Amino acid sequence: MKRLLGIIVVLALVVAACGGSETDVQGLADGCEVGETDGDLNLYNWTAYLPTGLDAEDAGVVDFIVEFEDRYPDVNVVYTQYDSNEAMLAQVDAGASYDLVVPSDYMVSIMKGSDLLVKLNHDAIPGMANLDPSFSDPGYDAGNEYSVPYQWGTTGIGFNYDYLDDSEGMSWAVIFEPDENAEYLGRISFLDDTRETLGAALKYLGYSLNTTNQDELDEASALIKAAKDDIAAFDSSSYWTLLTNGDTHVAMGWNGDFLAEYDGISTDDFDAYEQYGYAIPTEGAAAWVDTMAIPTTAEHPCTAHAFMDMVLEPFMGGELTNYNYYASPNLAAEEFIYEDILTWEAVYPSEETMASLEFFEDLGDFEINYADAFAAAKS
Amino acid sequence: MTLHQGAAARPWVDRVLAINGWVIFVFLYAPILMVVVFSFSASPNVGRWGGFTLAWYDRMLGNELLMSSLRNSVIVALVSTVVATILGTAAALALARYKRWVGRGTFDAIVYLPIIIPDVTMAVMLLLWFTSIGVGLGLGSITLSHIAFNISFVAIVVRARLANMDPAMEEAAADLYADRWQAFRKVTFPLIMPGVLGGGLLALTLSLDDVVITSFVQGPGSTTLPVYVFGLIKRSVTPEINAVSTLMMVMSVGLVLTSLMFQTRADRKNRQ
Amino acid sequence: MTLLDEREMVEQEEAVNPRLEKRARRAESWRGFFHAAPAYVYLTFFFTLPLIVVYVFSFASRSNTGKPLLQDWNLDSWSKLTEPLFREIALRSLWLAILNTALCLLIGYPFAYWIATRASQRTRTLLLVAVLIPFWSNFLIRTYAWRMLLDSDGMITRLGEWTGLWGQLLFTPTAVFIGLLYGYLPFVVLPLYAAIERLDWTLVEAGRDLYASGSAAFRKITLPLSKPGIVAGSILVFIPSLGAYVTPDILGGAKTTLLGNYIVTQFTAARNWPFGSAMSGAILIIMLVATILYFRTDTRTI
Give C37-46 pLDDT, tens digit per residue: 888 889 888 9
**pLDDT value at position B22?**
93
- The angle, 0 to 180 degrees and rounded to 10, between the axes of the packed helices B119-133 and C227-243 is 60
Phi, psi of A79 (to 5 degrees): -110, 120
CB contact under 8 A, A231 and C253: yes
Could you give the 3-state DSSP secondary structure of residue B49?
coil
CB contact under 8 A, A375 and C89: yes
**Mutate: best of A23, A86, A91, A254, partner B, most B CBs <10 A:** A91
Which chain A residue has its CA at the smallest distance from B44's CA? A265
β-pair type (A285-293, A357-359) = parallel
CB contact under 8 A, A12 and C53: yes
**pLDDT value at position A146?**
94
Residues of chain B with pLDDT under 70: 1-9, 44-48, 164, 177-178, 233-238, 259, 262-264, 266-272
Give the containing element (helix H, strand E) for A279.
Answer: strand A276-279
**Residue B215 with chain A: CB contacts under 8 Å:** 87
CB contact under 8 A, C111 and B2: no
**Residue A83 with chain B: CB contacts under 8 Å:** 231, 234
**pLDDT value at position B47?**
62
**pLDDT value at position A76?**
92
**Residue A245 with chain C: CB contacts under 8 Å:** 151-153
Distance CA(B121)–CA(B127), nearest Å, equals 10
* Full pLDDT tens readout for chain A, 379 residues: 455 555 555 555 554 444 444 568 888 888 888 888 888 999 999 988 999 888 888 888 999 999 999 999 999 999 988 878 888 888 888 888 899 999 999 899 989 988 899 999 998 899 999 998 888 888 888 899 999 999 999 999 999 999 988 888 889 999 999 888 888 898 999 998 889 999 999 999 999 999 999 999 999 999 999 999 889 999 888 899 889 888 899 999 999 889 888 888 888 888 888 899 999 999 999 999 999 999 999 999 999 999 999 999 999 999 999 998 999 999 999 999 988 888 888 888 888 888 888 888 888 888 888 988 998 998 8
Which chain C residue has its CA at the smallest distance from B73's CA? C138
CB contact under 8 A, B132 and C53: yes
Provide the 10 A C-beta neighbour count for residue A273.
16
Identify the chains in contact with A, defined as 3+ C-beta pairs within 8 A.
B, C
Q: Chain B window 187-246: which residues touch C at a Cβ cutoff of 8 Å?
A: 205, 208-209, 211-212, 216, 225-226, 229-230, 233, 237, 241-242, 245
**Mutate: best of B72, B102, B236, partner A, most A CBs <10 A:** B236
Which chain C residue has its CA at the smallest distance from B230's CA? C140
* ipTM (interface pTM): 0.78
**pLDDT value at position B247?**
80
The residues, any chain, with a CB within 8 Å of residue A332's CB and separated by 6 or more, are: A130, A314, A317
**pLDDT value at position C10?**
65
Q: Is A165 exposed, middle or buried (0-12, 13-18, 19+ CB in 10 A)?
A: exposed
Identify the chains in contact with B, defined as 3+ C-beta pairs within 8 A.
A, C
Residues of chain C with pLDDT under 50: 299-302
Provide the 10 A C-beta neighbour count for residue B109.
11
**pLDDT value at position C109?**
93
CB contact under 8 A, B45 and A245: yes
**pLDDT value at position A101?**
96
Could you give the 3-state DSSP secondary structure of residue B117?
coil
DSSP A104: B
CB contact under 8 A, C254 and A233: yes
CB contact under 8 A, B220 and A238: no
The answer to whether the CB of C68 falls within 8 A of the CB of C273 is: yes
Put simply, whether B31 touches C (Cβ < 8 Å) is: yes
The answer to whether the CB of A161 falls within 8 A of the CB of A275 is: yes
**Residue A20 with chain C: CB contacts under 8 Å:** none
Could you give the 3-state DSSP secondary structure of residue B147?
helix
Distance CA(A252)–CA(A246), nearest Å, equals 15
Could you give the 3-state DSSP secondary structure of residue A275?
helix
Integer-rounded Cα radius of gyration of chain B: 23
**pLDDT value at position A215?**
94
